[in-house]
Amino acid sequence: MIRVEAHPAPVDAHAAEADERTVFGFWVYILTDCVLFASLFATYVVLHGNTAGGPSGHQLFEMPYVLAETMALLASSFTCGLAMLAAVRGRTRLAVVALALTFALGSTFLALELSEFHHLAVIGAGWSRSGFLSAYFILVGTHGLHITVGLLWMAVVAARIWWSGLGRGELRRLTLFGIFWHFLDLVWIFIFSVVYLMGAAHL
């Protein structure tokens, strides 16, 4: 009888190599997003004083409202971290609950942002009113679009963890999602500082 030997190590090595390629490709994507947001920030800084006789950020921005948005997103970043810790420890239910909280907080942030956009449009401060408002809507709206994509991604990751458990693939997907979500949190901190704080201070 000819004995056929199994060789699991090469399979694991190939899987590890595939994971490395995936992670590397994802970091390349994050870098391209950094370039995108840097360009939008630069455009906003150039145009923030171009109000064309219309309202400025000092007149439009309501800081308590923006602070509520910020706290919701910061809290979602915290619960996202809890989901990752729970997943690493193999606690499936806790990971899904933490992701559900993250989803709720992220949805709250997005709803507040859309409500802010609607309010500005209603009072005649839409994106076409001035260069300042065009730059504002594009920068903040691009971040909001990323949040929307993140929420959809989060829902898929949570569903896969709930139905398939915390396998290697699910842990990798959750890790990549966590990097993406924390990146959006970091971008928002810059938006809060450059757009809202400086705008409210009339700088």
Q: Give residue 83's pLDDT band: very low, low, confident or very high (50, 70, 90).
A: very high
CA 61 to chain centre: 22
| Phi, psi (deg, nearest 5) at residue 54 | -95, -170
Min mean pLDDT across 19-28, 30-39, 127-136, 175-184 is at 19-28
d(CA 126, CA 134): 8
pLDDT computed for residue 4 by the predictor: 35
pLDDT computed for residue 15 by the predictor: 60
57-200 is classed CATH 1.20.120.80 = yes
d(CA 144, CA 110): 7
Tokens 């199994």 correspond to 6
pLDDT > 90: percent of the chain:
72
Give mean pLDDT, residues 51-61: 88
Give mean pLDDT, residues 37-63: 92
Average pLDDT across the chain, whole number: 89
Q: What distances in angstroms separate CA 132 from CA 49, 59, 115, 188, one per listed residue?
A: 6, 13, 19, 18
> 116 with 133: CB under 8 angstroms?
no
d(CA 86, CA 104): 18
Tens of pLDDT, residue by residue over 118-173, are 999 999 998 889 999 999 999 999 999 999 999 999 999 999 999 988 888 899 99
State whether residue 119 is helix, strand or coil: helix
d(CA 137, CA 67): 18
> 157 with 173: CB under 8 angstroms?
yes
Domain residue ranges in the chain: 57-200
In single-letter form, the type of residue at position 33 comes to: D
Min mean pLDDT across 13-22, 46-55, 58-67, 75-84 is at 13-22
Give mean pLDDT, residues 108-113: 97
